[in-house]
Amino acid sequence: MRQLKSFFFLAAITCLVQVVFVYWGQLAFLGNFWKNIIQVSTTQTFGELQLLSLSLLLLLMTLWVALHANRREILFLAFCAILLLLGASWLTAALHGSFLNPISGVVAILMGVVAVALFERTAFGSREPALRRLFGQRLRPETFRRLVDGNRPVDFPGEMHEASVLVCTIHNHVELMEVLAAPDYVSMMNLYLRTASDFLVDVGGYLDECSGESIRVIFGVPLPDKGSINHGAKAARAAIDLVIRLEELNRECDNLWQKRLDFRIGVNSGAMIAAAYGGARVGRYSVSGPVVEFARHLSAACAHYGCRILAGPASYELASTTVEGRPIDLLQRAGSRRRVELYEFLAPKNSLSSERERSRDQFWKGVIFFRERKWEESINALSSARIAGIPDQVLDYYLERVERARRGEDELTPEQALLSEVV
C-alpha cells in the first residue's frame, strides 16, 4: 500500500511537469540539436500528442521500476532505455529519412530516475530502501511488505522479543573438506545452504545467519506471528520438515560426491534482544542473548545424543500441541535448583504410526524409570521401545547410559557439562 501511494504521488507530480515541458516547448531546442546530430531534415513523423503519450508511458514505467529495484539496476535499465530510444531515432532517420524525436522520452526516463532518487531522501521515501538494506532477501516478500507498510521505526534501536531460534549446522564439514576437492566442497555446502535457507524463509522464518556450514533462522521477529500458530510451533514444524528435505538432499549429494551431510538442528525459544546491529557497511537486523546462544549449543549437542533435532523446554511447550516429541535429558547447573528438560521433535502431531506411538511411549517410561533409578524397569521399557529393523541412536545412547548408571559410572560427559553450564 505504501509503495502504491508513493507511485501515485510521484506520478502525479512528474507527469504534470512532463506535460508542461512538452506543450510549452521547453524541449524543442534539444530536439533540434539531436536532429542536427543525426542529419535529418524532414519534420517529425509523430505529433506532439503521440510523443507526449509515449513519454508519459515511459515515465510511469520508470517510476514503477525505480521504486522496486536497487540503484544499480535502475541506472542500468535507464541507460539501456535511453540508448534504445536514441538508436530507434537514428535508425528511422537512416532507413526512412524521417525524424522520430526521442527527447521527450529521454527526459521522461531521466525525470523518473531523479524523482525517485530525491524521494528516497525523504523520511517517507527512505523507509523501503532502509529496510531493504537491513533485511535484503532474508524475509518472505509478504512479510517484508508488511514491514514497509507498517509504522515501526526503521532504525530498530533494540527491543526484547519472545521468539524462537532454529540453528542448523553440519557436523562433518571438516571430514568433507579433507576428502573433497575445494570446488566440490563449496558446491556441496552451497547446495545445502540454498536448499535450507530458501525453505526456511518460505515457511516464515527470518534468515539471520547463513555462512559456511551453519544457518540460523528466527521465527517471531521482526514482526510477531499472525494466526493461531505461535513462533515455537512454526519453528518446530520447520525443523521436522527441514530434516525431510535435507535427507532428500543427501541422496543427491550421495549421487554427486558419494558423501552425505551430517546435519543437526537446535531449536530454542524465549526472550531475546532484536535490533539493527552494525553500521552503513555491515549493518543488518539480528538477535542476541542466552536463548540464541543456547540454540547453537543444542545443535552441537545433537550428535552426542544421536538425534537430528534437539529442543529446549520453552520450544517444546509452545509446540506440544502440534508436534510429537520425547525427552532427551534433564540438565541442572551445579549449585542451582533450576532444571532444564531437553526434547527431540519426532513428527507432526498425530502422524506417528501405531507402532511408533508405542515405541515413543515406552521410551518415555524408560526415561522416567531411569530418573527414578529403577534400572531394571528402565532397561525393560527401553528395550521394548525398539522397532525391529529401524536404527535408533537415542535409544542406544540411553541403554548404554542406564548400564553405566547401574555400575555407578554415569558421570557428565563434556557435552552435558557444557550444556549444564550454559543453563
Residues sharing a CB contact under 8 Å with residue 384, sequence separation 6 or more, in sequence order:
362
Q: Region 337-345: what's the mean pLDDT?
A: 87
Alpha-carbon radius of gyration of the chain: 31
Residues 299 and 273 in one domain: yes
**Same domain (yes/no): 267, 171:** yes
Q: Are 333 and 421 in contact (CB under 8 A)?
A: yes
Final residue before a domain boundary, out of 349, 374, 403: 349
Looking at the fold, whether 357 and 420 belong to one and the same domain comes out as: yes
Would you state the pLDDT for residue 252? 95
What is the domain-level CATH number for residue 260?
A: 3.30.70.1230
Amino acid 203: pLDDT: 94
- Say if residue 135 is in the same domain as residue 74: no
- Are 167 and 297 in the same domain? yes
Are 160 and 19 in a shared domain?
A: no
Does residue 108 contact residue 58 with C-beta atoms inside 8 Å? yes
Top-confidence residue, 71 or 315: 315
Backbone angles phi, psi at 335, to 5 degrees: 80, 10
Residue 423 to residues 26, 291, 330, 418, 419, Cα–Cα distance (Å): 73, 10, 11, 9, 6
pLDDT over 60 (residue 151): yes
**In terms of domains, do 107 and 140 share one?**
no
Binned at pLDDT 50, 70 and 90, residue 63 comes out as: confident
Q: In this structure, what DSSP letter does residue 390 have?
A: -
The residue among 125, 153, 170 that closes a domain is 125
362 and 319 in a common domain = no
Give the phi and the psi of residue 341 in degrees, each rounded to 5.
-95, 135
For the segment 196-208, the average pLDDT, to the nearest whole number, is: 94
Grid look-up 545445502 returns: 192
User: What is the tally of structural domains in the chain?
Assistant: 3
Same domain for 185 and 288: yes
Question: What average pLDDT does range 327-338 have in this prediction?
Answer: 75
Question: Do 109 and 135 fall within a single domain?
Answer: no
The predicted pLDDT at position 213 comes to 82
Query: Does the bond joining 290 to the residue before it have cis omega, within 30 degrees of 0?
Result: no
CA–CA separation, 28 and 36 (whole Å): 12
66-80, 244-258, 360-374, 378-392: which range is least confident on average? 66-80
Domain that holds residue 356: 352-423
For 395-403, what is the mean pLDDT?
A: 91
Q: Is the pLDDT of residue 291 over 90?
A: yes
Residues 289 and 173 in one domain: yes
Checking if the pLDDT of 44 tops 60, the result is: no
- Whether 329 and 215 map to the same domain: the answer is yes
Residues 234-284 pLDDT 10s: 999 999 999 999 999 999 999 999 999 999 999 999 999 999 887 666 778
181-191: per-residue pLDDT in tens? 999 999 999 99
What 3 state SS string does 1-45 have? CHHHHHHHHHHHHHHHHHHHHHHCCCCHHHHHHHHHHCCCCCCEC
| pLDDT reading at 376 higher than 80 | yes
**Domain stop point among 80, 99, 125:** 125
Q: In the predicted model, is pLDDT for residue 36 greater than 80?
A: no
